[in-house]
Structure 1
Amino acid sequence: MRYGPAVRRRKLGAELRRQRELAGLTSLEAARAVGWHQSKVSRIETGSSGVKSTDVALLLDAYGVTDTELRALLGALCGAGSADAEGARRGWWYAYRNLLPPAYLDFISLESEASRLRTLETTVVPGLLQTPAYARAVTRAALHDPPAEQVEELVRVRMARQSVLRGRQPLELCAVLDEAVLRHEVGGRKVMAGQLRHLVETGAQRHVRLHVLPFTSGGHLGITGPFVIFSFPRIADLDVVVLDHLTSSLYLERKEDLRAYVTAFTTLQAHALSHENSLEFIAGINDGA
């Protein structure tokens, strides 16, 4: 999956087409400007063909796009670990390309470029909020008798992912957690106690919002399974829903799907405890352990 999932190709193509139109160029004129055949531009814009970051850079140069944030975002949509021929910045995860499956690499690259992430979790703490000990226990449980070295490498990756929550413009994270997430003693009581404390501490940050769906809330939309909604700076059309499965991830891009999942998340959030009450609830579970 060199160029990432089809959803990324189509979204990247649509944005490149928009930039071309803003520049007042036809697809033929754009192709001539970069020395290509018109069909290549058309294939890229329709998402029927993958595109390298070097090609994206050429097109953006031709369209006069100088916004570094936009260029970085569109470059990321080429796929995980892409880089131009001059050695442009690769994501930190590129060093793990031989360890991680393409779907996970692609998920990380989306996460690194997103400005907002909304997630529903029904069984485990979201990766961005896990402690090393909890991540280690989850990794061991998810893999069949993994070598210790592999486990530690995967835990390092998970911890590195959490850098998006730090810095001048941290990712805005809003997580709705089923109470079962907090009750499963993953790794044992001591590991879970540390994880719950970490949730309370991390939840104190302004850009992190946690909402607990207690068992008393009864049946809810979330029983169909966890999902993640990625939102990107300034380009709402790039938003995407990701459904994680045991062996793969499903990317949903249709506007109807996006609307349905955003509505579902908003409904779940409304039925869940407030952020402040959720932090008290989590702390209370820990105190009663």
Structure 2
Amino acid sequence: MSASKVTRIEGARSKVTWEDAWRLLHCYGAPPDDVEELRQMIAGPAEIHAAVSRRLQELRNRCVMSRKQAAQATGLTPSKVEYIERPESTVTWEDAERLLRCYRASASVGEEIRRKITEASRTGWWHSFRDVIPVWMSKTIATEGVAERIREWHPTLIPPMLRTGAYQEAIWHTMSPDQSPEKISRRVELLLERQRRVLESSCTIWEIMGAGALETLVGGEELMREQIAHLRALGQRPDVRVQVAPRGLHPLSTTPPVRLLRTGAGSPDQFVLAQGADRAEISDRKEMVDQYMADMNGTAVLASRPGALLEQLEGIWA
């Protein structure tokens, strides 16, 4: 590989092939975890393939059909059907289409799966932001892209999916004063693109924030008025539910920011816990998901009713 090619690969806006990345990682002696994380960033989100596999399994189970019966009806082998349903498999549209016909799936379900398979074959859209995105965050964004529901808790601030660009920029100027304005601007651009893609998808959002989140001054009163107006607009959307936790003790009182994402009906939620600015944990362990789900449900019962958001915003930063 030439020196000019290495320079081009390391450029902020370049596109990197997995073949080139693998050669460089091998040269640098990168650990296996780093190799796998970069492979997922470059080769496309494995989470999308996993979601497709789970969806096909759900459809088969709904038909009360065994893998052997599905294989006989489609001309596939039982081992092939089993492979397709594994989370780590790569499903082709040809195989998926044969199974969808067998399961008598609706046209809308078929289109949903076709779109996901097509998307999984592309480089993640966030690839162009890798100059400001940590490697660990790629899996978080990939999971967002296939989520059907996102539930989020933030104890002290308005949750990220509800923030204006100016509100987020003010946070990063305070929390990361060593970062250049250009880098902060790019990070804001990334967040706004994440928001746009989630809000334009079929995903539903359920946000709960701490009692003081609306009263915390971020970036000045004018900025807060714009943020409140933004919340007003989002609060009228049928796919966005926003609640404010009570000031008293509740199940999430000592919990840091946390998100629960469901990637398909009947499939396990994936638990995402942000632990500071430089790392996050993603887990689908049932006991962990169940605990946080119970805490969110318990807090939601005590919190203001979802439709009360507009009433609560009256007079705040007016």
TM-score class, shorter-chain normalisation, is 0.7 to 0.9
* Structure 2 Cα separation of the partners of residues 284 and 194 of structure 1: 13
Q: How many residues align?
A: 263
Contact 1:173–1:209, Cα closer than 8 Å, also in 2: yes
Q: Find out whether 1:179 has 2:235 as its counterpart.
A: no
Normalised to the residue count of structure 2, the TM-score between the two structures is: 0.67
Cα deviations by residue, 1:71-108 (Å, 9 ceiling, x for unpaired): 544x59xxxx8535xxxxx4432322343112322222
* Structure 2 Cα separation of the partners of residues 20 and 224 of structure 1: 38
- SS of the aligned residue for 2:40 comes to coil
Q: Which amino acid aligns with 2:191?
A: R
* Structure 2 Cα separation of the partners of residues 9 and 142 of structure 1: 36
Contact 2:211–2:245, Cα closer than 8 Å, also in 1: yes
Which residue in 1 is equivalent to 2:142? 109
Cα deviations by residue, 1:177-227 (Å, 9 ceiling, x for unpaired): 102222221222222222122112211212211111132x23542422221
Q: Which amino acid aligns with 1:126?
A: P
Q: Find out whether 1:267 has 2:285 as its counterpart.
A: no
Contact 1:213–1:271, Cα closer than 8 Å, also in 2: yes
Q: 1:122 aligns with which of 155, 162, 171?
A: 155
Contact 1:164–1:171, Cα closer than 8 Å, also in 2: no
Q: Find out whether 1:279 has 2:310 as its counterpart.
A: yes
Q: Find out whether 1:199 has 2:231 as its counterpart.
A: yes
* Structure 2 Cα separation of the partners of residues 196 and 173 of structure 1: 18
Q: Find out whether 1:70 has 2:102 as its counterpart.
A: no
- SS of the aligned residue for 1:236 comes to coil
Q: Find out whether 1:227 has 2:258 as its counterpart.
A: yes
Q: Find out whether 1:100 has 2:115 as its counterpart.
A: no
* Structure 2 Cα separation of the partners of residues 8 and 113 of structure 1: 6
Shift of 1:12: 7.1
- SS of the aligned residue for 1:237 comes to coil
CA root-mean-square deviation: 3.7
Q: 1:209 aligns with which of 231, 241, 257?
A: 241
Of residues 100-109 and 205-214 in structure 1, the stretch that sits farther from structure 2 once superposed is 100-109
- SS of the aligned residue for 2:153 comes to strand
Which residue in 2 is equivalent to 1:87? none
Contact 1:118–1:228, Cα closer than 8 Å, also in 2: yes
Q: Which amino acid aligns with 1:102?
A: V
* Structure 2 Cα separation of the partners of residues 103 and 257 of structure 1: 20
| Unpaired runs of at least 5, structure 2 | 1-36, 102-106
Shift of 1:165: 5.2
Contact 1:137–1:187, Cα closer than 8 Å, also in 2: yes
Percent identity, please: 23
Aligned pair in 2 of structure 1 residues 257, 166: CA closer, same or farther (>3 Å)? closer
Contact 1:3–1:9, Cα closer than 8 Å, also in 2: no
Which residue in 2 is equivalent to 1:237? 267
- The structure that has the greater radius of gyration is 2
Q: Which amino acid aligns with 1:197?
A: A
Q: Find out whether 1:83 has 2:121 as its counterpart.
A: yes
Contact 2:256–2:275, Cα closer than 8 Å, also in 1: no
Cα deviations by residue, 1:28-84 (Å, 9 ceiling, x for unpaired): x9xxx99xxx8x99999776xx666xx6557646856792323544x59xxxx8535
- SS of the aligned residue for 1:223 comes to coil
| Unpaired runs of at least 5, structure 1 | 85-89
- SS of the aligned residue for 1:281 comes to helix
Normalised to the residue count of structure 1, the TM-score between the two structures is: 0.73
Contact 1:3–1:51, Cα closer than 8 Å, also in 2: no
